[in-house]
Amino acid sequence: MENHEILEKIIQLKRNLGRIYGSVKLKTSLNRTELIIFMIIGENNGISPGKLSNLTGFSKSLITISITNLENAGLIKRKRASDRRKIEIEITKKGMEKFLKIKDNVDKNFNNMISKLSKEEIESLSQCLDKMLSIIEKL
């Protein structure tokens, strides 16, 4: 297999991994970007907007717009950090309830997908992903 074919498969996989969130999107008013940001906040309560931008690769302006929309929906709130120059994003009680429902749905979708692989395929995939991530981090 040629290198460009592998790259195309990785891009296709990235594009299609969004399907894990597919059924979730139908049950929520959040767009894909907001959903991704919301799920990261749920996993990293107290995260800064800058860290969100680094984790997602989204621009700071897109992060700000999404945070505002999530805050207006009552799912998160901005909070000043102990260093008053910094802002932390926290999930609200309403947000945590929604986060747990979405996470359960995403986990079910992912587990269903991964269950189609053998134990050996899962181990091989994990090792390949670890190696690729290690190489990318060194670039």
pLDDT (average), residues 13-22: 72
Region 3-137: CATH code: 1.10.10.10
pLDDT of 22 reads: 60
- Is the predicted pLDDT of residue 40 greater than 90, yes or no? yes
* Number of residues written out for the chain: 139
Q: Which two tokens stand for residue 138?
A: 């060194």
pLDDT of 123 reads: 95
Q: What angle do CA 92, 37, 102 make, to 5 degrees?
A: 65
Question: Please, what sign has the CA dihedral across residues 56, 62, 66, 71?
Answer: positive
- Is the predicted pLDDT of residue 25 greater than 60, yes or no? no
**Residues 46-104: pLDDT tens digits?**
999 999 999 988 999 999 999 999 999 999 999 987 887 889 999 999 999 999 988 98
Q: What residues contact residue 49 under an 8 Å CB cut-off, 6+ apart?
A: 60, 63, 64, 67, 87, 89
- Range of weakest confidence among 21-35, 44-58, 84-98, 122-136: 21-35
Domain ranges of the chain: 3-137
